[in-house]
Amino acid sequence: MPWVKGRMAKRTRRTVEEARAAILDAAEAVLHEVGPAGLRVTAVAKRAGMAHPNVLHHFGTREGLLKALTTRTVERSTERAVRAIQAAVVAGPEHRKESLARVLDAVYEGEQGRLMAWLVLSRRVDDEERLDMEPLVKLTHAWRTSTLGPGDIQETRRLILLSALAMLGDSIAGEGLVESLELGTGEQGRRDFRAWLAGFLIEQIEGRRE
Amino acid sequence: MPWVKGRMAKRTRRTVEEARAAILDAAEAVLHEVGPAGLRVTAVAKRAGMAHPNVLHHFGTREGLLKALTTRTVERSTERAVRAIQAAVVAGPEHRKESLARVLDAVYEGEQGRLMAWLVLSRRVDDEERLDMEPLVKLTHAWRTSTLGPGDIQETRRLILLSALAMLGDSIAGEGLVESLELGTGEQGRRDFRAWLAGFLIEQIEGRRE
DNA sequence: TTCACTATTGACAGTTCTGTATATAAGAGC
DNA sequence: GCTCTTATATACAGAACTGTCAATAGTGAA
């Protein structure tokens, strides 16, 4: 049977890598808004500027797309965190507070926090994608001891946990809560809080040093 | 036209209040698992043991159901928090740490934390349902000054923010992160962390008192 | 230029889901 | 008992969504 119905649109042919990246970027934007359960293959395709079967061609199924996106997000997040801490280490002890503030900013910077929150909440991270926190613990503890002298590593672990949970909460509810508590408006209020938190953590560590 | 197809099932007729409560309970359980975007009216009905049009009869639309559930969840959460803090106030200064730990436990106790996380993340709280934190601030500051003497209320606000964000993060990622950081397993690890956090907060406040 | 490969597309099938129309039975009130 | 109200049920319509299939057009290699 000949092929007559409809007129074909112009096609832009990408390499496999380009196509996959474009689709993942689009999926990330969609997921940022509606979360994994609300992610529609058609919406992703539309945002990526292609027909939806092409998305399925590259990722097999909707579920495959979500899995790939989860992997990429987790990798990027841990990468980002490790790099920020390494930067803090080389910055030296005299910039403790600024470095720590920058670490806090970096961990769930921009949309990454919301993405992680969605993925964790829908149990997509933590099952397949167990986070490996050990390098982060080692790095942080090394940084801490190098600037403040020896300390309890369990305490480091707890402080990391506190920071991680607070940053995760911040990326979910930060804007609303900062304003509800009259601690400033919008992004500035959140940055102020993070700066304060950095100082708070360092004071606490110093107070326990002896 | 006569009505012949199918045989009617036994019916249990509830009052409006009972029916609405049963449906909201079912919806809460479903939402706990899959979030607002994943909530299906049919799934709620099945869980509540009724046919799905009955759900729509009571709440109009799927959206109406979600709105009602959001309202109920926000009310319950704030109620719970306020009550826990009031209990802490009457408990007196000698039980500061235990009281604070119990407040932290209560805020997002059980499934409430996950529910709030879903609702905030999908922007269902914060638009219509702006949280009113002022009573909580007042209560907490009164408690703080009554046990520790006068202090900066801005600091109280920041500490509340830190606690709220950490508890929110805890209800989302607590289990996984506590284990990843080797700070205990399961619920016990989280309780330990909350107890430690209570002590941490109080030490910090005392250190800044003078 | 020609050819092979495959990224991309339009059309469609099957399922699922929300919302509606209509019928019925469980109670409440008389 | 009888009637009226309405919570609940079945059946169905229409839309949306995922995944399949076959056709087609870029693109690199021969």
pLDDT per residue over A92-114, tens digit each? 778 888 888 888 888 777 788 99
Residue nearest to nucleotide D27 (CA to C1'): A13
Q: How far is the CA of B11 from the C1' of C28 (A)?
A: 17
Average pLDDT in chain A: 87
Q: Determine if residue A152 is left, alpha or beta; phi over 0 gives left, psi from -120 to 50 gives alpha, anything else beta.
A: beta
DSSP B121-180: HTT-TTTTS----HHHHHHHHHHHHHHH----HHHHHHHHHHHHHHHHHHHHHHHHHHHH
Say which range, A35-49, A194-208, B17-31, B149-163, has the weakest mean pLDDT.
A194-208
Q: Do B157 and A182 touch (CB under 8 A)?
A: yes
Residue A5 phi, psi (nearest 5): -60, 140
Does A71 contact chain B (CB < 8 Å)? no
Mean pLDDT (whole number) for B159-171: 92
pTM for the whole structure? 0.90
- The tokens for B70 are 């959001």
The total number of residues shown for chain B amounts to 210
In this structure, the number of other CB atoms found within 10 A of the CB of residue A89 comes to: 16
CA distance A189 to A182: 9
Cβ atoms B142, A95 nearer than 8 A: no
Q: What are the distances in angstroms from CA A181 to CA A33, A95, A185, B137?
A: 25, 29, 10, 8
Write down the pLDDT at residue A141: 87
Strand positions, DSSP E, A138-200: none
Task: Return the number of other C-beta atoms located less than 10 Å from residue A146's C-beta.
Answer: 11
Under the banding of pLDDT at 50, 70 and 90, the label for residue A8 is: low
The whole-number pLDDT of residue B3 equals 47
Are A176 and A164 spatial neighbours (Cβ–Cβ below 8 Å)? no
- Bases of chain D with protein Cβ within 7 A: 6-12, 16-27
Compute the distance between CA of residue B188 and CA of residue B22 in angstroms, rounded to an integer.
31
Whether the CB of B6 is less than 7 Å away from nucleic strand D comes out as yes
Top-confidence residue, B25 or B185: B25
pLDDT digits (tens, 9 = 90+) for A129-153: 667 788 888 888 888 888 778 888 9
Alpha-carbon distance of A149 to A156, in angstroms, equals 13
Most confident of A48-57, A123-132, B75-84, B146-155: A48-57
Residue A74 CA distance to nucleotide D24 C1' (Å): 38
pLDDT tens-place string over residues A51-69: 999 999 999 999 999 999 9
Average pLDDT over every residue of A25-48: 98
